[in-house]
Amino acid sequence: YAGGLSLNFYEQSCPQVEYIVRTSLRSISLTDPTTPAAILRLLFHDCQVQGCDASILLDPESDIFQTEMASGKNLGIRKRETINTIKTAVEALCPQQVSCADILVLAAREAIAMSGGPMIVVPLGRRDSSSPSNFRQADASLPGPNIGLDATLQLFAKKGMTVAESVAILGAHTLGVTHCFNLESRLYKPEVDKIDPQFEIFLKMSCPLGSFTPNSSFIVNDPTTLSFDNQYFVNSINGLGVLRIDAEMPLDPRTAPFIQTFADDQEVFFEAFSSAFAKLSSSNVLTGNQGVIRTYCNRLY
């Protein structure tokens, strides 16, 4: 596996870790059923900036230093504290053994499984970054809400994904919501892309001008927002893609066949998603003597 990750990494040092993550995430999700969506996006945004190293979990150490969370591209990121909570439970049984980066990957794979998606086998052994990232790096590395297909395919090709896997990983938008502030430019600025006229009326009604204060209004990413299924693909074929990328994939000859296949057969989607997830979650990892095992996921010391 990439960079020295392995399937039995915690077999000796913390055999209960998968169980602890599973039960903790399940109980947290009972009080807030939108937790799985937030955790899955959190993993993507961690891996995208400086690799899957839990850098996104670090709190700023001072008012002067701005961490990657200060980037506008991280607006709407939630549930960082959930990983802290799970880490506390893990530390109680296996002190100083399990990285926050691995806990985040395990939590994301539980989030997928408990929402009805595939149970993905993930290799472990990531280490946590010993230095924070910053908002400039996050701005440069995270995709903006209006990214187009070419740039998106390039972004995932860098992670070793095929076109099929790149389409599949965007099926993560089967969960969760998009806040209106992420749709402002698509709806009200000079044309970004062609929106289905009926759907555009609906989007503008749901996100009227003036609804862009963070965390106010939102649109569901697909009709079954709590369920990890293939409705995202059915939806986007029907012209109901919420973001530009969601809308463009069914129209482009490079990606349309995969969108159709995944819409027709959920099992094929789950397989392609699983291999894409393995690539995403092992991108640019620290292993061996690199990095650290943090005690508190939000602090370096």
- What is the nearest approach in angstroms of ligand HEM to the Cβ of residue 25? 14
- Asked if 297 and 54 count as a contact pair (C-beta separation under 8 A), the reply is yes
Active site residue 45: yes
The interface partner of residue 227, options being ligand HEM, Ca ion, none and the CB cut-off 5 to 8 Å by kind, is Ca ion
Residues that bind Ca ion (CB under 5 A): 46, 49-50, 53, 55, 174, 222, 224, 227, 229, 231
Catalytic residue chosen out of the listed positions 37, 40, 45, 177:
45
Does residue 225 have a known ligand-binding role?
A: yes
Residue 292, beta-bridge partner list: 128
The interface partner of residue 102, options being ligand HEM, Ca ion, none and the CB cut-off 5 to 8 Å by kind, is none
Which residue's CB is nearer to Ca ion, number 114 or number 192?
A: 114
3-class SS string, 64-96? CCCCHHHCHHHCCCCCHHHHHHHHHHHHHHCCC
The interface partner of residue 41, options being ligand HEM, Ca ion, none and the CB cut-off 5 to 8 Å by kind, is ligand HEM
Which residue's CB is nearer to ligand HEM, number 220 or number 293?
A: 220
Residues that bind ligand HEM (CB under 6 A): 34, 37-38, 40-41, 44, 76, 78, 143, 145, 147, 152, 169-170, 172-173, 175-179, 182, 221, 243, 245, 280
- What is the nearest approach in angstroms of ligand HEM to the Cβ of residue 95? 30
Q: Which residues are annotated as a binding site for Ca(2+)?
A: 46, 49, 51, 53, 55, 68, 174, 222, 225, 229
- Residues labelled as active-site residues: 45
